[in-house]
Amino acid sequence: MSMRLEGKTALVTGATSNIGRAIAEAFADEGAHVVVSGRSADRGKEVVDGIRARGGSADFVRADLDGSVDASQLLAEEATRVLGGRIDVLVNNAGIYPGDTTAATDEKTFDQVYAVNVKAPFFLTAAVAPAMVHTGGGVIVKLGSWIARLGVPVGALYSSTKGAMETLTRAWAAEFGPQGVRVNAISPGVVLPPAPGEAHPGEAMMKGTPAGRVGTPDAIANAAAYLASDESAFVHGTVLDVDGGRTAAAVIAG
């Protein structure tokens, strides 16, 4: 264990399952005190208990990031309190994915997806970044998606929100980087928890890629740990593709 985040504090949203859980666990394994945030107290307790059982430091803070300013500010305040007065690393991971076509998407769904995927992390960053500046600096990691840059026939709404997050990553790097806060993003490919013997429709999307398979949450967690650590001190405003080569290369079978 390298303990790259020893002495650091971190808030990970959407941390009770899949990618968010893997990131929270990886950060704790690297020595960080982690606030696991999500809507389910039961799942949050499970993640925290697992981290503590391995000797890590974690606490759960429930949050329903519905896009309201109040919800984002309340999470920032409570996480800061639990973490002893500062947040060194923020991971904006929470999001929702409706896979409807454009014509099948109603206004309520549109507003909800933008509220959760864009407004909530926007106002959470607005609450956390200035405090990071005040305490001497910090790191913000955002989760994008490969379909923000490679179009697919369904999910236009979701992909547009992830495009917004990638744009915000660059804008915030310019805004907060000179003040000591590094902002970067990770763009995952199709990522699924290990499920031996079970087929998933997402597997077809990774055919013809260099990796030739779906990814697992730990691949994204490893990238997040790198971006959160001092090893990436010269990395600002980048979107790190961890997608098995989905957006970079096509493998043509002979």
Please identify every residue annotated as catalytic: 158
Q: Could you write out the three-class secondary structure of 28-47? A: HHCCCEEEEEECCHHHHHHH
Which residue pairs from 40-49 have beta carbons closer than 8 angstroms and sit at least 24 positions apart in sequence? Answer: 40/16, 43/16, 43/17, 44/15, 44/16, 46/16, 47/15, 47/16, 47/21
∠ Cα 75 127 188 (to 5°):
75
DSSP conformation class of 96? -
Cβ–Cβ contacts within 10 Å for residue 146, how many? Answer: 25
d(CA 244, CA 84): 38
- E strand or H helix at 139, and its extent? strand 138-143
